Copies of this chain bind each other. A is one copy, B any other.
Amino acid sequence: MAKKDFNIGMIGYGFMGRAHSNAYCKVSNFFDLELNPVLKAACARNAEPLQAFADKWGYESIETDWRKLVERDDIDAVDICVPNNLHKEIVLAAAAAGKAILCEKPLSMNAAEGEEMCQAVEAAGVANMVWYNYRRVPAVTLAKNLIESGRLGRIFHYRANFLQDWTIAEDLPQGGNALWRLDVAAAGSGVTGDLLAHCIDTAIWLNGSIADVSAMTETFVKQRMHNLTGQVEEVGIDDACTFMCHFKNGSLGLFESTRYARGHKALYTFEVNGENASIQWDLHDLHRLNYFDHGDEGVVRGWKSIHVTDHGGDHPYMDHWWVPGLQIGYEHSFVHQVADFLDAHAKGQPAAPTFRDALETQKVCDAVLASAKDRSWHNV
């Protein structure tokens, strides 16, 4: 296939900057695509670490002002890997400049911002996508396929958890560099936008829209040193957030996220219970999908652990990798998302989740935070 270069301008060089860069580097080794991503420029305020990052990943150039990057003619797409409070401004500028935009999740600080961003990209007619990468874990995509096929029948229950334990320490500062997720000014919320947003995105994808929510949040450590101000300040983020909900299809939802669940590093799990079958997944063993089919003969009915590494089209994306039995990992979800984006973009089609798709998650997050605040049910 004749290849066409697709020039990436990356803003940010943290954890996500690395994960996305790796995806751009690997995708052409494993997928046959018309568009070949080129690491054209990396951008951040601090030139020295930025240059080290650019060298490590092979970016051809650097920029220390994102406005310059956005305006460069040799950039086809802008990838936004900076804290949430910076998303909107960059998106508006990039849309105005006619760039495709790949934005880290959550889309925005709140739904109002998100709406503005959606209108900007839609008005500009630029390709846009949000990095809810877990959709492209093969086991999660397989879950989607099983549900779409109708095997589960009517859905009764959807539950999801995202449990971590890394902030259980009174002396951990809030804010500053890698800790911006703990700073409400940069992140907008705590686990709600960071962790629950993933759970909600997957849930809506698998089970449709959420109608209403009742939520509870908690901040276990009320005051922390703020790295940017040097002061002990009140903590503005939620350490834990739980909510119950009704989906529009009549099923019940139950969601929990926390950074205070000792023993869990990044335990994102979901389960869907349908009339005929059920599905479970767990990020700590992301290459497996558990499946129960009530239609199985009684004597051999049970939960199956599907090792999602088969070829021949049985397991999504896996034909591109190794051989059955050999698992892939976390980073591959980003490779798949890039592959799907580039494939869609070459065809002039949108790649999900678009900004508009991600806005729905933002609205649920807003309703959740509002419900936790006034202790009442909120419609989404």
Q: Which residues of A line the B interface, CB within 8 A?
A: 15, 19, 21-22, 25-26, 28-29, 56-57, 142, 145-146, 152, 156-157, 159, 163-166, 168, 214, 216, 218, 220, 240, 242-244, 246, 252, 254, 256, 258, 260-267, 273-278, 283-289, 291-294, 296, 298-307, 309-310, 312, 314-315, 321-332, 375-377
A326 touches which of B304, B322, B328, B329 (Cβ 8 Å): B329
Bound-complex Cα distance A266 to B25 (A): 28
Report the minimum CB–CB distance from A156 to chain B (whole Å).
4
Q: Are B262 and A275 in contact (CB under 8 A)?
A: yes
Q: Are A252 and B218 in contact (CB under 8 A)?
A: yes
Known: A56-B28, A329-B332. A273 touches B262 (CB 8 A): yes
Q: Which residues of the other chain, B, contact A289 by a CB distance below 8 angstroms?
A: 302
Q: Which residues of the other chain, B, contact A291 by a CB distance below 8 angstroms?
A: 300, 302
Would you list 28 pairs from A and B whose C-beta atoms are within 8 A, ordered by A residue? A15-B323, A19-B322, A156-B260, A156-B261, A156-B262, A157-B240, A165-B273, A165-B294, A242-B254, A243-B244, A254-B254, A254-B256, A262-B273, A262-B294, A263-B278, A263-B303, A265-B310, A265-B323, A265-B326, A283-B325, A284-B327, A285-B327, A289-B302, A301-B314, A305-B305, A326-B329, A327-B330, A376-B376
Q: Which residues of the other chain, B, contact A302 by a CB distance below 8 angstroms?
A: 289, 291, 304-307
Question: How many subunits of this chain does the assembly comprise?
Answer: 4
A256 touches which of B22, B159, B218, B376 (Cβ 8 Å): B159
Q: Are A263 and B252 in contact (CB under 8 A)?
A: no
4 new A-B contacts at CB < 8 Å, known A216-B246, A262-B276, A329-B332: A25-B25, A267-B325, A301-B310, A327-B327
Report the minimum CB–CB distance from A56 to chain B (whole Å).
6
By beta carbon, the residue of chain B nearest A217 is B252
Bound-complex Cα distance A97 to B291 (A): 54
Known: A330-B322, A332-B329. A292 touches B262 (CB 8 A): yes
Most B Cβ at <10 Å: residue of A157, A262, A291, A325: A262
A299 touches which of B146, B323, B376 (Cβ 8 Å): B146
Q: Are A263 and B292 in contact (CB under 8 A)?
A: yes
